[in-house]
Amino acid sequence: MIDPLITMRVVHFASTVMVAGATLFVCFIAEPAFQAVGEPPWRVVRPFRGRLFGLLSASLVLAVVSGAGWLLLLAAKIGNQSLSEAITEGTAWVLLTQTRFGLDWQLRLLLAVLLAGSLLLERRTPSRWLDLFAALAGSIFIAALAWAGHGAATSGIAGDVHLGADIFHLIAAGAWLGGLIPFVLLVRLLRHSDEPGWATIACAVVSRFSNLGIIAVGTLLVSGTINAWFLVGGPVNWTGTGYGRLLQLKIALFVGMICLAAVNRQYLMPHLSADISGYDPERRTRTARKMERNAMLEVTLGLAVVVVVAMLGITQPATEAHVHVH
């Protein structure tokens, strides 16, 4: 049977990545692309904002519920108790109120409440300031996970470097992976709209998101290498430990995602921008549909990465494992 803590971590990482990614996407990709065309295409903007509000609200609720589940399952594991005993005998309360993990969870709950408030306000009176606030709160919400992971276990200056790398790693993961579904949602709405300039807006969205993707991939590679440096150690640990093999699988999935993103950027994006002046609207639509399909394949691989991450975080780091050299 799969460890319920792994399942809860998968749900929590996935929903937290969604919250961070969607708030960053609205603030740095969608709204600037809408503003860039002078009169925003309201037949696209309104349904986009509506669906994103639904997606963000559901993700925020899922993140809070799975966060509570993570805490309870961890308390039961630490106390070697059943879930109900962990509650009735106060282990969960002690974990929440007297540990760094608990303090981190309290801070993240406060951020979730502030985020919910800003989303409700944004719903009534959209404003760039609220977009910025939500993007900042969403980034801190995911970055604060670093205090609950292996990144917080290293001491001294090395510990600061490890924790810093993990914080950047988490924000980059949120920006890229969490931005993919809003990206598909927006390009699909544009493609289905009969807005005369839909392809121009789609091009602006694609190039902005692709630039953000490049920054995120670079950050994931550098911060991931630093993480691996602290948690894997020597080459024999990559093959000789469960942790090392899990991380290899993660990197293979990551390479798959980069290949899909590269097809969108290097091959389909030039096609879409070339098609704008063309007189074949069908071709524009086909190109946009291929981009959406590739992005959804990236989401699928990204979800597999999140499953591996959920396992990595509760697997003994390779640096601590004893490797049998045959």
Binding site for ligand HEM (CB under 6 A): 13, 145-146, 149-151, 166, 169-170, 173, 177, 220-221, 224-225, 227-228, 231, 247, 250-251, 254, 257, 302, 305, 309, 312-313, 317
To ligand HEM, the closest distance from the beta carbon of 319 in angstroms equals 10
The CB-of-99 to ligand HEM minimum distance in angstroms stands at 16
> Is 119:57 a contact under the CB 8 Å cutoff?
yes
Coil, strand or helix at 166: helix
Among residues 229, 225, 224, which one has the least CA distance to residue 171? 224
Between 133 and 254, CB nearer to ligand HEM: 254
State which residue, 200 or 237, has the beta carbon closest to ligand HEM.
237
Given a contact cutoff of 8 angstroms between Cβ atoms, the answer to whether 142 and 109 are in contact is: no
Distance in Å, CB of 306 to ligand HEM, minimum: 7
- Closest CB to ligand HEM among 150 and 284? 150
Q: What minimum distance in Å lies between the beta carbon of 325 and ligand HEM? A: 22
- Beta-carbon neighbour count of residue 269 at 10 Å? 19
CB of 258 to ligand HEM, least distance (A): 8
Q: Shortest approach of ligand HEM to residue 39 CB, angstroms? A: 36
CA-closest candidate to residue 3, choices 94, 100, 70: 70
Q: How far is the CB of 236 from ligand HEM (least distance, A)?
A: 17
d(CA 295, CA 183): 8
Please report, as a single letter, which amino acid is at residue 263: V
Q: Which is nearer to ligand HEM, 15 or 287 (CB)?
A: 15
- For ligand HEM, the closer of residues 9 and 284 by Cβ is 9
- Decide whether 167 or 204 has the Cβ nearer to ligand HEM: 167
Per-residue burial over 14-50, b if 16 or more Cβ lie within 10 Å, else e, is bbbbbbbbbbbbbbbbbbebbeeeeeebeebbeebbe
Only one residue has tokens 């289905």, namely 192
**What angle do the packed helices 156-192 and 4-25 form, to 10 degrees?**
60
Q: Which is nearer to ligand HEM, 247 or 260 (CB)?
A: 247
Compute the Cα dihedral for 92, 96, 98, 101 and give only its sign: positive
